[in-house]
Chain A
């Protein structure tokens, strides 16, 4: 079982809609979770991180974390064509010592926002 799994997509939504990206993780002790956006041929860039249960909002983006269900999601409101990219979910494993550098990534979900 992969440690971090994302809905494989690709996901296609119309401009202005809400895009919902999902991620589950297997390490129950995981502490922090990250959403990265990666445009084709470019390096990943951080959109949001979350470490507490509940919702975290930043502009059009909302990250949701449910540790009991081991589930993380990213909602993009008012989706724009410029949001078309691959979205990567990452988890930081059980805290302590050397683990802070060991991010584990999901396989990514390709999002296309069409006009």
Chain B
């Protein structure tokens, strides 16, 4: 089954404690992205990756890191989480081979609470 898998689904952590949210896709997609979703603000892109070892900042990258060492995996790293990073996070992947083939497939979401 084609899917994007995020883990964990729910996470409560304390300020300053490093954490990683994993994302994996089995569709051989080139493009992968991380979004955060907050009430009234819609989905905002944090980082995206065009291929292995190629990443770029989205609209709200501050406080986040990513890496793309393998095509299928795109982890999101919060080195020192703060309460303003409490949000619902989505990973997404897409082919990105031309403007007609860029449907994004989303993971199940990770609800992060930083206290």
Contacts and interface: CB of A to CB of B under 8 A. Distances in A.
A34 B107 CA distance: 17
Contacts of A51: 99-100
Nearest to A30: B99
Given A43-B106, A43-B109, A101 B99 contact: no
Interface residues of A, number: 26
Nearest to B101: A100
A25 interface: no
Contacts, number: 75
Contacts of A102: 33, 45, 48, 56, 58
B31 A101 contact: yes
Interface in A88-115: 88, 90, 92, 95, 98, 100-108
Contact of B90 (A6, A44, A46, A100): A44
A107 B42 contact: yes
B94 interface: yes
A92 B99 contact: yes
B43 A100 contact: no
B106 A101 contact: no
B103 A101 contact: no
B114 interface: no
A100 B97 contact: yes
A105 B103 contact: no
Given A103-B45, A107-B40, A45 B98 contact: no
Contacts of B108: 42-43
A31 interface: yes
A92 B40 contact: no
Q: Which of B35, B56, B106, B107 is most buried by chain A, counting CB atoms within 10 A of its CB?
A: B106
Interface string B19-53: 00000000000111101000011111100111000
A30 B44 CA distance: 17
Given A32-B100, A45-B106, A101-B96, 19 more contacts: A42-B108, A43-B90, A43-B106, A44-B90, A44-B106, A88-B42, A88-B43, A90-B43, A100-B96, A101-B30, A101-B33, A101-B50, A102-B56, A103-B45, A105-B35, A105-B44, A105-B45, A107-B40, A107-B42
